């Protein structure tokens, strides 16, 4: 982390933003890329005088949504079986089936909620494309989730003071909290849908 922080600190403002665009883009294609860490440290560096919170957020959104819509397009063009063969790293055992079922029952709510969950975030765009969710609807849903999450990351980074380690710990804690809230929304949504289905049967 120290080396990454030093490298980001050495970049002029345009290249710093460029690095954030690439990290956010790559997260959708190759999930092991630690995009949240890179973006948090980039925002931390920007707060020390190498950029602005708005610039960091816009660069991150450009990369994130660009990568997400690329994967959406691949899913829409080639379908789920091709995706499972071509990008096995995106689809851990059972992940595609679970999220596909969630999309069927919850629609755009599932797209928004799933983009907050680190373990399944990268799976959402190609599955949305493969399942035929409209491009504009998917774009709006993913933008809402990504905008909220990375807005939070930028705010935390610009208020972090001088301690990058404390910043990353705080972001990890916030990520767990957001994940739990998102999971709670899923449970409530399923419960409401089940209740409505039971009411119709009566």
Distance, in Å, from the CA atom of 100 to the CA atom of 104, rounded to the nearest integer, reads 6
CA-wise closest residue to 61 among 175, 157, 123, 139: 139
Neighbours of 177 (CB within 10 A): 10
Neighbours of 47 (CB within 10 A): 20
pLDDT at 166: 59
Question: By the 8 A CB rule, do 29 and 67 touch?
Answer: yes
- Distance of CA 56 to CAs 20, 144, 183, 192, Å? 7, 17, 28, 38
pLDDT at 69: 94
As for how many domains the chain has, the answer is: 1
Strands of the chain (E only): list them: none
Question: By the 8 A CB rule, do 90 and 83 touch?
Answer: yes
Question: What is the residue-wise DSSP string for 111-155?
Answer: HHHHTT-TTTGGGHHHHHHHTT--HHHHHHHHHHHHHHHHHHHHH
The per-residue pLDDT string of the chain (202 residues; one tens digit each, 9 = 90 and over) reads 567 767 777 888 889 899 999 989 988 888 767 677 788 878 878 877 767 888 989 999 999 999 999 999 999 999 888 887 877 777 766 666 777 777 776 677 777 777 777 667 788 888 889 888 889 988 998 898 888 888 888 887 777 655 655 555 655 555 555 455 555 544 544 454 456 556 666 5
pTM of the model: 0.73
Domain range holding 22?
Answer: 2-201
pLDDT at 71: 92
pLDDT at 169: 65
Question: What is the residue-wise DSSP string for 5-18?
Answer: HHHHHHS-HHHHHH
């Amino acid at each position: 982390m120290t080396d990454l922080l030093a490298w980001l600190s050495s970049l002029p403002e345009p290249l710093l933003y460029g690095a954030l665009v690439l990290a956010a883009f790559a997260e959708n294609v190759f999930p092991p890329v630690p995009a949240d860490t890179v973006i948090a440290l980039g925002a931390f560096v920007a707060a020390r005088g190498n950029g602005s919170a708005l610039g960091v957020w816009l660069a991150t959104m450009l990369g994130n949504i660009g990568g997400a819509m690329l994967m959406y397009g691949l899913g829409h063009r080639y379908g789920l079986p091709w995706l499972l063969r071509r990008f096995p790293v995106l689809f851990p055992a059972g992940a595609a089936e679970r999220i596909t079922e969630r999309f069927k029952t919850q629609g755009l709510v599932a797209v928004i909620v799933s983009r907050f969950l680190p373990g399944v975030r990268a799976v959402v765009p190609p599955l949305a494309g493969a399942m035929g969710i409209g491009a504009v609807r998917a774009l709006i849903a993913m933008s809402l989730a990504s905008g909220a999450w990375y807005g939070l990351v930028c705010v935390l980074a610009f208020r972090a003071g001088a301690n990058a380690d404390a910043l990353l710990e705080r972001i990890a804690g916030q990520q767990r909290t957001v994940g739990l809230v998102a999971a709670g929304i899923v449970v409530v949504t399923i419960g409401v849908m089940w209740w409505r289905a039971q009411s119709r049967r009566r």
